[in-house]
Every structure is written in structure tokens, then in C-alpha cells.
A and B are shown apart, each in its own frame.
Chain A
Amino acid sequence: MITIGIFAEDKPGVLYKIADIFLKRKINIESLTVSKTERKGISRFTITVNTDKETVEKISKQLYRIIEVVKVFEAEDKELVYSELAFLKISATNPLKRREIEDLVELYNGKVVFVDKDSILVQKVGREEEIDSMLNLLKPYGIKEVVRTGRIAVLKSEEKLKGKFEKILPSPSYVAKLELSAIKALEHAGRNIKGSISLAQGTPDFLTPNFIKDSAKKAMEKSLTDKYTSGYGIDELRKAIAEKVRRDNKIKADYKNVMVTHGATEALIATFMGVFNPKDEVIVITPDYASHITQISLARYGGRPVFVSMEEKEGEWVLNLEKLESAVNHKTKGILICNPSNPTGKVFSREELKGIADIALRHNLFIITDEIYEYFVFGGKEHISIASFEEVADRTISIFGVSKAYAMTGWRIGYIVADERVLKEVFKVHDALVNCPAVVSQYAALSAIKSGPEVPKKFAKEYERRRKIVVEELSKTDKIVLPKMEGAYYAFPKIKDVEDDYEFAFRVLERAKVAVVPGSAFGKGGGGHVRISYCKSEEELREGLRRLVEYVENNRRMSNYK
């Protein structure tokens, strides 16, 4: 058996021409698969034939005569890692037969995927030999149907792919060559490139107000900060928080519903680990804060993220409730939303939140919110906490923080507001993780929260001004679709004609010296977008945006392969 791999332009008629080369020499194609590849616009055919090496060599040369064919390689089994997928429908007329068949299937690491009254549908992934062996053993039971995909194969060594092939096409992904994750690499690169402006990080340049720092100093002087406190946080802080959520978020809570954490970050991880099992599914509405995704999956015990992407219409992101509900199954345990959203800047409407609440009720799910940007809403929008809906209050775990509201990102204080019984579970993890949040920071947070919403509202006014600048600058080009910026301090525009946003982000940094975050980092729906943070100073923001617009205007043909 010889496997022939063909890379060709993804255009109509290529399969016809390739098949004809085999037909001409009356060679029967044993199996044929074709699919997309890592390179845009290039398809990969995998064909197996039973003929001698010489003939295959001649066929390969003739394949190159087809204008659309880019690369051909032939290989024997030993040079490849190969596999195929088979569906086998086996007759099983009684439960004992079914037992026997399923035992056999288990032996071969197959999977039963469907059962009806007199047959079992088995799925097996593996080499042809394995599938053939399993088929053989199942023959006595009566095989009703066999469907196989045909082999796909990857060369063990890249030698055969070297040469002209590599030079002809741009490398599949800029990112493949990187040692770090794309976002970190971008940040690093930004630092190394002199004179570059970063619109990538979401850290505002405001300083913590002095009165808050003073409170911390006083607490230290009074030696209040020297020892452990309760893991839930000091009572005054919990009480102040309860008052705040009653006032600003309309959530009916008292201090027993509050747990102070080491930043909203720790709140999230402790929540996932405390409330979910590893096989539970958590629906994440994307595009979403990249770390949520990491937190859920890296945490291993925090459940499995299932992504439901919003839909974008002319710069506005809309949640399709039907789509959301169709992603719910018996394994789903929770829905996570970031509201206001990072990176899209979306502020969920009452209707959308009611819809989510409704789905959570009907399917008995938790709702987890990350409301870190609660005070930054624009354009007449209102921030609504879903926990304010009484019918779902007990199943909602709302997570807040002081980092953005009071410019206290370095102080590491966040808080969870949830039903007491839920908090108890989360506490088990929280306690093991941090013991208690940093006490000096708790006192700082206390004075911040007690001071009310004036400070964040002041910041919001500043962000409003900068938001206007973003609109002004981005309107200068039609190649960037102006996004709706309802909340947080992020703009998430789509760049026209850009498919690979990672590559785009690197090129923009390299050539225009401005860093933005590639949209793909934020999950499904983010491709082709970039995230711009407008929490920077006005000067930097304007200049950064100007550079971006200039780059986009000067490079109208931007797809890396057409």
C-alpha cells in the first residue's frame, strides 16, 4: 500500500484532474480523503493505491503537471502515522448478544455511539489493520453496514516536505514559530521594540487615590494588618460590600453572602473549583476574557468550557438565546458571562439577562458573572447584575473587584456575592488557596468601598472622553468596522480582509509599532478582530490609533494568501 499526499489549491475541478491521472493508468484508488489544511487556500488529498513504487513515481510527476498542484509526496506505511475512522453497524437482536459485542468493542477501544432495537453502531478510530481485525471478529454477529473515511496520514519526518514547497507559500502560522503564547509574545515584543505604543494591556494608568493609600497606612500603623483574618474577609469590609451591592447592584444581600478574595482572579478560580466537577460543562459566552478560559480548563477540576459565540452585526454583539440553549445538555452545570464584556465592550440588556436567567432556571444551572467593569458603561446603557433578579438570586455567583473601579490593580482585592450555601463550597478551595486575602489590602478596599461610587464615576468620565477619541480616529478608515463600545474600556473592531489576526497583530507591531491583542485569543467569534484598550493616556491613545489606521490604509491587500 502506497500513500500519496497531494497539496493543491482549493479550487473546483482539481479533484477531477487528479482522479483522471489515476484513471489513465487504470489504477484503482483504494481510498481518497480531502480536507482543508493549516495553509489557507490549500487542500490536502490523501490517496492510497496498491501498485508498485515506479508507477507511483511516474504518477507523482504527472500530478505536478496539474497547474493547481503545489506539492506531492509518496510514502510507505512505515514512514507515516496514519489512521481512519469507521462506523460499523452490527446486528444485536438480544441483550446477551449486545453484551458480547460491546465487550469485543471495548477490547479494541471502539465506542458504541448508537443503539436501536436490533443493532449497535460502533465507531472505531485506528489503523486499517486494527479496523479490519475488529471487523473480522464481529463478522459472526452479522455486519449490517460498514462506512469508512479512508486513511489520513502524516509523515513521521518532514524531509519529504522540504524544498521548493516551503518557499512557495508563506508559513502556515506565524504563531507556530513562537515559543510563548501569542499574547505574551506580543507584550514582550512590544517592550523590545523601541518607541512602540501598547494598546494591548488592560491596565489603566490611573493611580490609587491617596485617601485609600492613607487608610492602608493607618491600618499598618495600628498593627491591624499583622495577622491572619477570617478567610471570608474582615466583617466591616463584608458589611460595606453588602451595602454597596444593595445600593449599586440591586442585589438583596447581607454580609453573610460576601466573601473577600485575592482579586477577582482568585474568586473565579475558587468558584470553578469549588462548584464544578471535572466532567461538568460550563458554557462560556465568547468572545470572552482569555483568562476565564484558562481558569476553567487549566484548573482541571473546574469543569470543561463549552463556547457559545455571540453574533456580530455592524459592530454590535448580540447573544442568540436559542443558540445558547442548544448548547445546554445533561452535563452542563453553569453559564459564565463577563458583563460588561471584555473584549467586546458589550453591556448585556435586560432582555438578554432575563433570557439567560430563564435558561439557567429551566436547566437548573449556576450563573457566574464577572462584573469587574460594572461602573464603566456608556451611551445611556445601564449595568444590570443578574443576581438582582430574585428568581435566580440563589443560583447566581456574582464576582466583583476593586481593581478597575478604584485603580487598585496592585492591591489584589475582589469579592464574591452568592448564596451562603454556595459560598461554603467555594470557601473550601479559597481557604486552601490563600488562607485569607492580604489584610493591608482589605483595609484599603474598605475605605474605597465606603467612599461610594464617586471615584469610579470619575474614571468613567475620563474613559468616556477617550472613547470619543477612539470613535474619532477609527472613523478615518473604512477598513476598520467601527465597534459599539458600550462598556469596559475596550474596542473590539473587525479589520476587513484580515483572516489571521495573530499574524496581523505581529505585523502591525513590527511595522507600525503599535500593539493590539489579536481577537482569536478571546475565543470563537474573535477571529479577524483586534482588541484595543482605551484606558491609556489621551496622547498615547491618539498616536497608537493613528498608527493603526495608517497601517491599515497603506496595506489594503492584507490577506496572507489569496
Chain B
Amino acid sequence: MNKAKSEKRKAKKLEVRTKPITGADLVVRTLIRLGVDTVFGYPGGAIMPVYDSLLDYTDKINHILVRHEQGAGHAAEGYARVSGKPGVCMVTSGPGATNLVTAVADAMMDSVPMVCLTGQVPAQVVGTDAFQETDVIGVTAPITKWNFQITSAEEIPFVLEKAFYIAVSGRPGPVVIDITKNAQFEEVEEDKLQHFDPKKDSPSYQPIYEPNKRQIKLAGELINNSERPLALIGHGVIISGAQKEILEFLEKANIPGACTLHGLSAVPVDHPCYAGFLGMHGNYAPNMMTQEADLLIALGMRFDDRVTGKLEKYAPNAKVIHIDIDPAELNKNVKAEVPIVADVRHALQALLKHIKRRERKEWFEKMRKYWKIEEEKVIKSQISPAQDSIKMAEVVRRISELTEGKATIVADVGQHQMIAARYYQFKRFNSFISSGGMGTMGFGIPAAIGAKVARPKEEAIAIVGDGGAQMTIQELGTIAQERLPVKIVVLNNNFLGMVRQWQELFFERRYSFTYLLNPDFVKLADSYGIKAKRVKERKDLDKALEEMVKTNEPYLLEVVVEKEDNVFPMVPSGWPLDKVLLSPEGLKS
């Protein structure tokens, strides 16, 4: 918080130049004025003028050099998820920009505010297949909230201000701004340029934050009259910062609330109203309760197929109240009796006035009953396994205990991601970062970099699989160069775990190209000058984890885990939620 304030002070002190300045200079100055303190990037020909200008402002804006543009994108995502501010990345034209595409698509799917500046060949040669020229605008149009190509320096302040406005407002998302090289060289007079005013210059885009009063009243009535309501807590709750409101709501109305992948950590795991993790690999209780509920209160979530299972059989007995800031989500997958377009926090504040407490003893009993079943059938054997081989779950649980559930956990994609979501005991609001909608492998390490930069005082632990780690392993270089005390836990099973699980369960154990020959991760980290250790036996686990947590330096811990471990419970794709499998035996019946 204090850092943000001092940043703002620094920004305001940027006096307006009286002599003409270059477009490149103007880009940097505009970023500073907009409150940007960090840019993740990788230089190249088409963006060189801006890079040159960066050197004049190192006291006001920090640049972190990555090793692959995808890393810059994911780092910007991690930064944005943790801080709520838009992540900013800067790359060159052609391959620089195309390397960013995956991260941009990821940000779009997960509603992450991000502004990506891509260099571009000079405007005069655009369209001639010039060196390192790509139609970035065409390529990123479907995966951005907005994009624009700046071809003259005088457009810079207006366009960048508009870009930031669009990225953070309404449903956040990525914006790509392509800057042609001639615009970077052009000279302009700073005080003569036009600025963006959201009220006057954006008539077509007017997000709605305040809910409709009538709809809120209707929602309140439904809630008060329901016997088996379930709140579905999504990313929207975290984005809108409804830390206080969500707890007030659950407590006042006395309703259980379950979280989607991105909603995790909105409610502390030990809260009496917390029902668990929803979806394909979620906890048993929330999925069963969804099918028995008479009312679902969807808060900033979009009924993704990972959460709903077979849509036709989803929540057969429930009416739905759907609150989301994006009207396109309402009645997209699930029909809502009471759709409400609003920012979740504003909606909850309004809703609280209409809520009355109602005793729902039986409903909560059911919830506890389902938890017990899961404890017995799944959780126990995962966190206190009988065999020698280390299970991923016990590693995560141990990390959770050592960090008191308060670290920022950044997961990559795969089995370990589901395990991290299930077994880390989140106590702190907005402490779980992962790639959900796109499920981008390689997200973990660079996103953890971004998270650490955004909140340097908090522990950032990346929990990655051996597959995902290798997709962006080059970012160890970034960690080394910046000396960022990021902790990386590689859960190594020499397999593309999640795919292998599906091959085991649905393809008669035909492991088609899922076995991975891995490098020696410890030696690899070592070659970067990063402290690293390998754990192969349970007896060494605790000590190694403690050491990792205590260190205030970058650290990589490789844990060799059980090769053919499966994540349960599981709702196979296209199955109804209540047919959730608690073990592979369930499949045979």
C-alpha cells in the first residue's frame, strides 16, 4: 500500500517537458504517469527506442528482463493477479509479439488486466512483409479486450490511457498496443496532446457496477426463502475485492459457499461456511450439494464446464441467481431466474440489506457428512499415505502448515495444480494464482516472478510439475538475474501426469507419449546459481521444506513423487456432478 502511494508521488513529480520529446520518451512517461512501476519485457529492433528511453527513468520505473516473451506475459499476469493493478509487458515485433500470444489468450480467459506493448515496423513499411513484421492486431483481435496500432506519436497518451482504462474496468482483460517504430522516433510537444476522458471518449463502452435494485430485491427474497442454498464463489469476488462482503454475506444469511478454481482463497478454508472447492477435481461436498441445492447464488463465476459437468444434468433442483459484471455470461450456459449485472462487491453490499438469517441445520450437517466421506475415502490416504513413495498431496499439505496457509501459491497446470488447489489451506484473501480457463502449462514459474515483484514482502511459492516447469524453465535466468526470492517446488513424477491419468482411466492405460525424460533440476538450478535440493524420501521432506521456506533467496526444491498417482475425486468430462468418482474403482461400476 505504501509503495503504491510513494509511486503515485513519484509519478506526479514528472514535470511536463517544454521542448519536444520523442514518442518513445512519451511512452515511458505516460506509463509512469499511469502508475506503472514495473514492466516485464524483452528488447528487440522494433522496440529499441522505447528501451533507450527506459534508461532515463530507472528511478521511476523498473524493468525486468525475462528470457522468453511468454515469460513476460505470464509475469505480467502474476503481477496483476496479486496486486489488482494491470500487468505491463513490453516486447518487440514479429516473433516477440507472437511469443506473447499464449499469455494474452490466457489473460483473456481468466480476466486478468494486462497492457502489452509490442514494437512494430515503421508505418511506411507495414504490409510489405518487412523484417520481423506480423499482423499483431489481426492475430490478437479475438484474444484481447481491445487492441490498437499507434502510428504517430501524438496518439500515444490518448491510446495508452484508453488501453489502461479498458484493461482494468468492467471485466478486466488484456489490451495489446502495437507501436510502429516511426511513432517512437517522432517528436511531439507533450503539453499539446489530447488525453482520454472515459466519460466523453468511450460512449460505446460503459461497464455497469451498480446492481439493479429490483433484481437485488428479488434475489434477497429467493435467498431468504431457500432451504438448501449454495453460494458459488468465483474469480469475480476476488477481482472486486469483496473480502469483507463475502464473509458478511455467508455469515448473515447462514449459507455454505464453495469456490471455483479462481475463487479459492476468497474465503478462509477453516471458515464454518466454507463448503470446499468446486468442479472436476473439487471436493466431494460442493459437487454433491450443487445437485441437491434448491438455490445457487453464482458470484462472479461463469459456469465453466470444469465446474458444471454435464450441463443438462447440472443442479436439477436449483433456481439460479447469477451476479456477474459481464452481461454476456448471464444465461450463457445456465439459465438464471435472477440475473444481475454488477460488480460483485457492490452487489453483495446491496444484497446484505435484504438478507435475513435462516437456520439450515440439516443442510450444514449434510455438508459435514460429505466432508467426512471424502476425508475417509480420499484425503487421509493422500496426506498420510501408507506407501513409501511421496504423494503430491502430502507435500502441499506440509507446505501449507509451514506457511500457515498465508503464502501466495502459484500453480502450473496439471495434477499438481489440482492437488495444490485441494490441499493448501488458504487463509489469506487472493493467495492462489493459476491458469484456469486456458490451462497454460509453463504459467507457474514466470507468474511466480510477477507475484513476487508485486508483493515482495510475501512468500511466493510456485508449485509446478516436471512437464510445465520445462515449458518456461528459461525464466530461472530471470530469477537469478533479479535475485528474486521465489521458491519453486517441482513435483517430479517423470510424467505428463494429468494426461497419463486420463490415459489410465479412459484409454486402457495406453501411455502415448506422456513419459518424460527430465533434466537434473537441481543441477539446472545450480547452473543458474540458484540454491536447489532434491528430496526422494519422506524422511527428508520436512527438513528440506523448512529450509526452503526459511531461505530469503531463490530456491528450487525437486520432490520425486509417486509416478502413477491419480487425483480424486474426479467428475469425468461430460459426466453429471453427482456421479463423481472417489476412486478408480468407481469407474468400473
Chain A residues close to B by CB (< 8 Å) = 8-9, 13, 16-17, 20, 24, 57-58, 61-62, 64-65, 67-70, 164, 168-169, 562
Q: Which of B142, B145, B332 contacts A67 (CB 8 A)?
A: B145
A61 touches B142 (CB 8 A): no
Nearest CB in chain B: distance from A18 CB, A: 10
Per-position contact with A for B510-542: 1 when CB-CB < 8 Å, else 0? 000000000000000000000000000000000
Specify which chain A residues have a CB less than 8 angstroms from the CB of B201 in the assembled complex.
562
Contact (A61, B141) CB under 8 Å given A67-B204, A70-B204, A168-B204: no
- Size range of the interface on B? 20 to 34
Q: For the complex, what is the distance from the CA of A17 to the CA of B166, rounded to whole Å?
A: 16
B141 touches A65 (CB 8 A): no
- Select from chain B the residue with minimum beta-carbon distance to A20: B142
Contact (A168, B141) CB under 8 Å given A58-B332, A64-B327: no
B142 touches A24 (CB 8 A): yes
Q: For the complex, what is the distance from the CA of A20 to the CA of B137, rounded to whole Å?
A: 13
Q: Which of A8, A13, A70 contacts B137 (CB 8 A)?
A: A13
Per-position contact with A for B124-147: 1 when CB-CB < 8 Å, else 0? 000000000000011001100111
Q: For the complex, what is the distance from the CA of A13 to the CA of B137, rounded to whole Å?
A: 9
B204 touches A13 (CB 8 A): no
Q: For the complex, what is the distance from the CA of A164 to the CA of B205, rounded to whole Å?
A: 11
Specify which chain A residues have a CB less than 8 angstroms from the CB of B332 in the assembled complex.
58, 61
B141 touches A13 (CB 8 A): yes
- Select from chain B the residue with minimum beta-carbon distance to A23: B142
Specify which chain A residues have a CB less than 8 angstroms from the CB of B147 in the assembled complex.
13
- Pick 28 A–B contacts, CB within 8 A, sort by A: A8-B204, A9-B204, A13-B137, A13-B141, A13-B147, A16-B138, A16-B141, A17-B142, A57-B331, A58-B332, A61-B328, A61-B330, A64-B327, A64-B328, A65-B145, A65-B326, A65-B328, A67-B145, A67-B204, A67-B205, A68-B204, A70-B204, A164-B206, A168-B204, A168-B206, A169-B203, A562-B200, A562-B201
Nearest CB in chain B: distance from A64 CB, A: 6
Chain B residues close to A by CB (< 8 Å) = 137-138, 141-142, 145-147, 166, 200-206, 326-328, 330-332
Specify which chain A residues have a CB less than 8 angstroms from the CB of B205 in the assembled complex.
67
Q: Besides A61-B328, A61-B332, 14 other CB < 8 A contacts?
A: A13-B141, A16-B138, A17-B141, A17-B142, A20-B141, A61-B330, A64-B328, A65-B145, A67-B145, A67-B166, A67-B205, A68-B204, A70-B203, A164-B206
Q: For the complex, what is the distance from the CA of A395 to the CA of B166, rounded to whole Å?
A: 67
B328 touches A62 (CB 8 A): yes
- Select from chain A the residue with minimum beta-carbon distance to B175: A67
- Select from chain B the residue with minimum beta-carbon distance to A170: B203
Shortest beta-carbon contacts, A-B, top 6 = A61-B328, A70-B204, A67-B146, A168-B203, A67-B205, A20-B142
Q: For the complex, what is the distance from the CA of A17 to the CA of B202, rounded to whole Å?
A: 18
Q: For the complex, what is the distance from the CA of A169 to the CA of B206, rounded to whole Å?
A: 12
Q: For the complex, what is the distance from the CA of A448 to the CA of B66, rounded to whole Å?
A: 93
Q: For the complex, what is the distance from the CA of A9 to the CA of B202, rounded to whole Å?
A: 10
Specify which chain B residues have a CB less than 8 angstroms from the CB of A67 in the assembled complex.
145-146, 166, 202, 204-205
Nearest CB in chain A: distance from B204 CB, A: 4
Specify which chain A residues have a CB less than 8 angstroms from the CB of B146 in the assembled complex.
67
Interface centre among B137, B138, B203, B326 (most CB of A within 10 A): B203
Nearest CB in chain A: distance from B206 CB, A: 7
Nearest CB in chain B: distance from A68 CB, A: 6
Specify which chain A residues have a CB less than 8 angstroms from the CB of B145 in the assembled complex.
65, 67
Q: For the complex, what is the distance from the CA of A17 to the CA of B148, rounded to whole Å?
A: 13
Nearest CB in chain A: distance from B16 CB, A: 20
Interface centre among A8, A13, A24, A67 (most CB of B within 10 A): A67
Specify which chain A residues have a CB less than 8 angstroms from the CB of B331 in the assembled complex.
57
Specify which chain B residues have a CB less than 8 angstroms from the CB of A62 in the assembled complex.
328
- Select from chain A the residue with minimum beta-carbon distance to B200: A562
Specify which chain A residues have a CB less than 8 angstroms from the CB of B327 in the assembled complex.
61, 64
Q: For the complex, what is the distance from the CA of A8 to the CA of B204, rounded to whole Å?
A: 8
Specify which chain B residues have a CB less than 8 angstroms from the CB of A164 in the assembled complex.
206
Nearest CB in chain B: distance from A4 CB, A: 15
Nearest CB in chain A: distance from B166 CB, A: 6
Specify which chain B residues have a CB less than 8 angstroms from the CB of A58 in the assembled complex.
328, 332
Specify which chain B residues have a CB less than 8 angstroms from the CB of A9 in the assembled complex.
204
Specify which chain A residues have a CB less than 8 angstroms from the CB of B137 in the assembled complex.
13
Specify which chain B residues have a CB less than 8 angstroms from the CB of A57 in the assembled complex.
331
- Select from chain A the residue with minimum beta-carbon distance to B148: A13
Specify which chain A residues have a CB less than 8 angstroms from the CB of B204 in the assembled complex.
8-9, 67-70, 168
